[in-house]
Amino acid sequence: MRFSINTKDAIWAAGAGSIAGTGSALLTKLGNPVDGGVSVACFCRDIAGSFGLHQTIEFSYLRPELSVIVLSAGITAAVKKQYLPTGGSSSLVRFLIGSILAFGVFAFIGCPMRTGLRLAGGDPSALAGLAGLVTGIGIGTVFLMKGFTLGTASRTTATGGMIIHILSVLLLLLLFIKPPFIILSNQRHAPLVASLAIGAIIGIAGQRNKLCFTGGFRDLFLIGDVTMLTGFVFLLLAALITNITLGQAHFGVHIIGSSDFLWSFLAVCVVGIASTFLGGCPFRQLILASQGNSDSTITLLGIATGAAVAYNLDFAFTAGSLDFNGKIIIGISIVALLLIGFFNREK
């Protein structure tokens, strides 16, 4: 296989990855979770907790970064005439895959983006996650080469494409109003102004550069193209440099880390397969949703639902370990994804 790179696009991807890495590390310094200044899957979990969909209070907050990423990316897409309402591409299957993806994320505590951020924070346990992620993307890519597809999205109404923007505005209003039915943790969140400013910048960068933290590995395996891989590499490097500069790089297993490398590997392998089937990591799904793709919005709802189920049924990594329930669901998830991959091939 010959390797190729589009230098111009690679520079843009590197810039977007650097913005995301630096912004995430800054938000951690300002109060967001360790090694998770920006993590779309974790933000979905926290929002689900705010509505009482799970009972882990520390993971219950209406993350403003998610809302402002959607709004800033959506406005940018509209200005650049790239906003296009689409949907109807195996929506229920996407919801299911999104839920399964969440099982993998929270058995490890890390989506593809957070896996890179954990490495940049000095956590060696994330190496098992990275190996699992790359392996999962490789497995997913094999299915792509065998004809896997979730169908083609079609043009939909403007209302369908704007649902996530309406929800994002609603979430921000609820955060400002703080009604009694909303649960808001008092810990692990940056000041609102910083969250909004940094989130907006990351949203614009993500939209303009098609930033995806699994797509680069997929393109490498499929066609030998390393262009988009620079986004992941520079996310890691920028976050690492920022962490060292701010004195928050701690080399050793972190509080959310695990010495159980096998289950860390398998959990993020689930994330890799699911992200490849969906056409992008959770961050990419958020950007696609902001551009009018209602299938991606449904995927994000699946991730939020899966997160709630994971914490309610003890599938998630908690108290320094992954319980038996979590190990069982990872095994089931791998089998389920393989079956989805097999039965969704074009004949």
Distance CA 294, CA 290 (A): 9
pLDDT greater than 90 at residue 47: yes
Q: Which pTM does this prediction carry? A: 0.96
Any idea where the domains of the chain sit in the sequence?
A: 7-343
By C-alpha distance, which of 222, 314, 311, 214 is closest to 271? Answer: 214
Query: For residues 203 and 69, is the Cβ–Cβ distance under 8 A?
Result: yes
Q: Quick one: pLDDT at residue 262?
A: 93
pLDDT greater than 70 at residue 255: no
Burial class (CB in 10 A: 0-12, 13-18, 19+), 259: exposed
Instruction: Read off the pLDDT of residues 21-44 as tens digits, 9 standing for 90 and up.
Output: 999 999 999 999 988 899 999 999
Q: 């860390």: which residue's tokens?
A: 264
CA 140 to each of CA 2, 85, 135, 222, 342: distance values in angstroms, whole numbers, following the listed order: 21, 27, 9, 10, 11
Sequence-ordered strand ranges (E) for the chain: 86-87, 154-155, 317-318, 321-322
Structure tokens at 343: 């039965």
Structure tokens at 113: 């983006």
Instruction: Read off the pLDDT of residues 149-161 as tens digits, 9 standing for 90 and up.
Output: 999 989 888 888 8
Q: Quick one: pLDDT at residue 292?
A: 96
Distance CA 102, CA 250 (A): 27
Instruction: Read off the pLDDT of residues 84-120 as tens digits, 9 standing for 90 and up.
Output: 999 989 999 999 999 999 999 999 999 999 999 999 9
Instruction: Read off the pLDDT of residues 122-156 as tens digits, 9 standing for 90 and up.
Output: 888 899 999 999 999 999 999 999 999 999 989 88
Query: For residues 219 and 145, is the Cβ–Cβ distance under 8 A?
Result: no
Average pLDDT over residues 230-254: 91
Distance CA 172, CA 275 (A): 27
Helix (H) or strand (E) holding 98: helix 91-108
By C-alpha distance, which of 124, 83, 66, 95 is closest to 254? Answer: 124
Q: Quick one: pLDDT at residue 79?
A: 96
Q: How far is CA 307 from the centre of its chain?
A: 12
